[in-house]
Chain A
């Protein structure tokens, strides 16, 4: 159970992530991703949309699996820039790491 926090997307802007709400959950990024890992990277983008901070922290290690191939960003039909979103989320996670 997660409480939706619509302000979270705005909080992330400080970390260079401002395109999450462009995503309309088509899943093209997850389909094209060479990692073929669950719903990566869409899953993390959706967590940003609904503001599920805890979920992002729980799944943080996934962010470091990314190979930076750029396929998701190239194929995204909404210019939501999934690749850049992953990088931004890393900065967010690093900043939050072990902070009470």
Chain B
């Protein structure tokens, strides 16, 4: 046994339990888990070290709870995956055992060890991390979480299907909601469509139903032409500065013209416009909103092909799918051949995966220097839906469908493919990097364009298809919300969509507590999926608001009044406005200036700890003493039986 250190005074009762997870082989394939346990048993304060295949499983959580209840341990170290995944899980287990959830320390043996190291070195590093965690755990004190009152109002940013649905769900729960929409219109991208794949409901009925209910709901306030300019606060107490003004430039000129042509008024649905609930403001108006929770529903925009991509902009006969949908709605004549803008469309080519599934090194980067490597998921079905619509209405218009893969993945969607195959839609398959080439038609047929493809279905032979129209099935891209991302400090994934905490277990939450994701700001979704996500976000927000208070982690600065002499260095170093201040206090009968922490505003960053010349301020749960104990263990070899070979 290693001899006990003298310089720190751990609570005499500190009994540390160490639990090492195999993560089903994720960890144990690279780390000798039983050896890590053996080493851990030699760390001062450790009374038990156990390993298991999946510590996050219910039986294993029960095992830890039993050890706590029986009095065997009173400090817990779990060595498993990243704490961002399961720290909360195990803290809750401690709470269920009746223990303080903060006498817990997490060692990351997966992301920091087994996924990046191999062999004996991996096991040694794992042992050192576990020993450090155990040494820290020994010095942990029970902490109380910080309770903060909640503003019983939610702010929803974005007035498309997701924002409308989330606002409505919150309103229906009797909660005050403010919906902030940048454009003058409600309805978002769905209002730019006609019928929705796969079942054919109209965008008009979906949007009208939602806007009708939202606009007449007493609990919901809608601000259009409004943008979030500034943001502050934390879960339960967000403060949002909103600016409402006439949109700059002529971004919405086309839609405003459509609206005035339609002769419809405020609150009425207009195809390819949406619903304009209020007139465009003349001046500039600023106001502050308070919110206990924020739902982000900032949506997507259709991929805009570069000039020349598949002949886009080079040839007027090349359009995107949303453009085709608009043209189809205005298609004149009732003959058996489609007529668009006065042109007979006898043969039309549809090209899938435009702006989606781009491969580094194969496809050219987009304007911003990025590639959309993801599948946009909705375009296959939307494309086939349009193909079927044309084949059914205009049987003399032939459809040629060029795909890389067809991913009609959901209920009722594969049927669209079957239907297209039955109605004579002719399919061609191309390989990535061998996308169809669109050019002027040099042959003597009257079709203006020629699509050239090396067709996998025809055994890799080159085929040429003369056509009158090329439709590009463009994917979904996240809207440009850099300003919002910067302000809210929320994570963005490699695909530039907003990133959830956990794709399966916490799909609508982001790492900033109290901010929730609804719809296509997160990933390409169809309307049904968007509503499901919006409903989930609304319920999560409602749970925060109706509880009335939130508990924040107590990892905030704490002043040791026995040491503080009021230098004020900490106040100067503090990054969060209002978190630290010098106040007059009576200490031993004398009025003195001392530092004081506002726990609700403290970020727990530790800047104050670093600058205090008296070592009089510490971050709870991360004190300097605890760090020292961790460092001592990392550099110590005492608990390692023998230096691992290799």
Q: Do A and B bind each other?
A: yes
Taking Cβ atoms with an 8 Å cutoff, the residues of A that contact B are 1-4, 6, 21-22, 24-25, 39, 43, 46-47, 49-50, 52, 55, 78
B458 and A46 form a contact (CB under 8 A): yes
A-B residue pairs in contact (CB < 8 Å), sample of 25: A2-B458, A2-B461, A2-B463, A2-B464, A3-B443, A3-B463, A3-B465, A4-B400, A4-B463, A4-B465, A4-B466, A6-B347, A6-B400, A21-B424, A21-B426, A22-B421, A24-B427, A25-B457, A39-B459, A46-B457, A46-B458, A50-B426, A50-B458, A50-B463, A55-B461
Which chain B residues border A39 with CB–CB below 8 Å? 459
Does B398 have its Cβ within 8 Å of any Cβ on chain A? yes
Q: Is the CB of A6 within 8 A of B398?
A: yes
A82–B282 alpha-carbon span in the complex (Å): 70
B426 adjacent to A1 (CB under 8 Å): no
Least CB distance, B46 to chain A, in whole angstroms = 62
Q: Does B462 contact A (CB under 8 A)?
A: yes
Least CB separation from B423: chain A residue:
A21
CA distance A78 to B461 in the complex (A): 24
Beyond the given pairs A1-B462, A52-B458, 4 more chain A to chain B contacts, judged by CB atoms under 8 angstroms and listed by A's residue number, are: A2-B463, A46-B459, A47-B458, A49-B426
Cα-based distance from A86 to B485 in the complex (angstroms): 62
- Interface positions of B from 17 to 39, Cβ below 8 Å from A: none
- Residues on B with C-beta less than 8 A from A46 are 457-459
CB <8 Å contact, B464 and A4: yes
Residue of B nearest to A39 (CB): B459
- Kindly identify which residue among B427, B459, B462, B466 contacts A43, using a CB–CB cutoff of 8 Å: B459
Contacts of B464 in A (CB 8 A): 1-4
**C-alpha gap A49/B427 in the complex (Å):** 9
Q: Which residues of B contact A55 (CB under 8 A)?
A: 461
Output the least CB separation between B298 and chain A (Å).
40
| A25 x B424 contact (CB < 8 A) | no
* A52: B residues at CB distance < 8 A: 458, 463
Q: Which residues of A contact B458 (CB under 8 A)?
A: 2, 46-47, 50, 52
Task: Find out whether the CB atom of A24 lies under 8 angstroms from the CB atom of B462.
Answer: no
Closest 10 CB pairs of A and B: A4-B465, A1-B462, A25-B457, A6-B398, A24-B421, A3-B464, A21-B424, A46-B458, A4-B463, A2-B463
Most buried by B among A4, A24, A46: A4
Q: Which B106-131 residues have a C-beta within 8 angstroms of A? A: none
Q: Which partner residue on chain A sits nearest B417 by CB separation?
A: A24
Q: Please measure, in the bound complex, the distance between the C-alpha atom of A21 and the C-alpha atom of B400, giving whole angstroms.
A: 12
- With a cutoff of 8 Å between Cβ atoms, the chain A residues found around residue B457 in the complex are 25, 46
| Chain B residues closer than 8 Å to A49, beta-carbon distance | 426
Q: Are B466 and A3 in contact (CB under 8 A)?
A: yes
- B444-463 vs A, CB cutoff 8 Å, 1 = contact: the mask equals 00000000000101110111
B residues less than 8 Å from A24 (CB atoms): 421, 427
Q: How far is the CB of A100 from chain B (nearest CB, A)?
A: 20
- Assembly CA distance A3 to B447 (angstroms): 13
- Provide the residues of chain B in CB contact with A6, threshold 8 Å: 347, 398, 400, 426
Q: Which residues on the A side are within 8 Å of B465 (C-beta)? A: 3-4
- Docked Cα-Cα span, A52 to B459, in Å, equals 13
Which residues of A sit under 8 angstroms from B463, Cβ to Cβ?
A: 1-4, 50, 52
Q: How far is the CA of A47 from the CA of B457 in the complex (A)?
A: 10
How long is the Cα–Cα vector from A65 to B569 in the complex, in angstroms? 94
Task: Name which residue of chain A comes closest to B455, CB basis.
Answer: A50
Cβ of B418 to closest chain A Cβ, rounded Å? 9
Kindly supply a per-residue 1/0 record for chain B positions 339-375, scoring 1 wherever the CB is within 8 Å of any chain A CB and 0 otherwise.
0000000010000000000000000000000000000
In the bound complex, CA of A3 to CA of B400 (Å): 13
- The distance in angstroms between the C-alpha atoms of A4 and B458, with both chains bound, is 11
**Residues of A with C-beta under 8 A to B422:** 22
A44 CA to B443 CA, complexed, in Å: 25
Which chain B residues numbered 381 to 400 have a C-beta less than 8 Å away from chain A? 398, 400
